[in-house]
Amino acid sequence: MSIYNSFVITLAFLVTLALVYSNMPLSYAAPNLGIPISASDATRPVSISGNNSHYTPPSSELSFDTANMTHRTAKEEWQPHQSQTTISQEWWYVTALLHDSSGNRYMLFNTIFKYDGKDIPTVKSAPQFAMQLGPNRTIISPAVELSNYDTGFHFFDSDGAITGPNQLWNPKTNTLSYKTPNYSGSWSFDGENMSSVLKSPKLSYDLNMQGGKQVMWTKDITFKKEGFLQQGLAGNVSFYYSLPRLFISGKMTYLDQSGANKTIDVAGQGWVDRQWGDFKTDAWQWNSFRFDNGARINLYDFANDYKVGTYQKPDGSTQWLDNFTIKQNGYAKAPNGQWVALGWSFDFPVDIEGSRHYTVTPFSNNDWICNSPDFCFIEGAGQLSNDTLSSSSTAKTVGSSVFESMDIRLLKNGPYDINQH
pLDDT digits (tens, 9 = 90+) for 239-253: 999 999 999 999 999
Q: Where in the chain is the domain with CATH 2.40.370.10?
A: 1-38+55-279, 283-421
| DSSP letter assigned to residue 83 | -
| CA 373 to chain centroid | 21
Ramachandran assignment for 126, one of left (phi > 0), alpha (psi -120 to 50 degrees), beta (any other): beta
Q: Given this model, what pLDDT does residue 390 score?
A: 72
**20: Cβ–Cβ under 8 A, 6 or more apart, which residues?**
none
- Local mean pLDDT, 10-residue blocks, the chain (421 residues): 42 39 30 28 28 51 94 98 95 98 98 94 77 88 97 95 94 97 98 98 98 97 97 96 98 95 98 97 95 98 96 96 96 96 98 97 97 89 93 82 97 94 86
The number of residues making up the chain comes to: 421
Cβ density class 166-177: b for 16+ within 10 Å, e for less: ebbbeeeebbbb
What are the CA-CA distances from residue 219 to residues 87, 164, 230, 312 (Å)? 21, 32, 9, 12
Q: How many Cβ atoms sit within 10 Å of the Cβ of residue 53?
A: 13
Tens-digit pLDDT profile for residues 34-68: 223 222 222 222 222 334 443 445 579 999 999 89
DSSP bridge pairs for 239: 228, 276
Main-chain phi, psi angles of 187, to 5 degrees: -155, 110
Tens-digit pLDDT profile for residues 330-389: 999 999 999 999 999 999 999 999 999 999 999 999 999 997 788 899 999 999 999 998
Nearest residue to 379 via CA among 157, 216, 52, 225: 157
Main-chain phi, psi angles of 193, to 5 degrees: -120, 155
**311: Cβ–Cβ under 8 A, 6 or more apart, which residues?**
295, 296, 297, 318, 319, 320, 321, 352
**235: Cβ–Cβ under 8 A, 6 or more apart, which residues?**
none
Q: Given this model, what pLDDT does residue 126 score?
A: 66
What are the CA-CA distances from residue 90 to residues 312, 340, 352, 393 (Å)? 24, 25, 30, 43
Q: How many Cβ atoms sit within 10 Å of the Cβ of residue 220?
A: 22
The CATH code that applies to domain 1-38+55-279 is 2.40.370.10
Q: Given this model, what pLDDT does residue 145 score?
A: 98
Q: Is 315 exposed, middle or buried (0-12, 13-18, 19+ CB in 10 A)?
A: exposed
Q: In this structure, are residues 15 and 126 in contact, taking their beta carbons and an 8 Å threshold?
A: yes
Q: Given this model, what pLDDT does residue 43 score?
A: 25
CATH H-level superfamily of 283-421: AttH-like domain (2.40.370.10)
d(CA 106, CA 83): 36
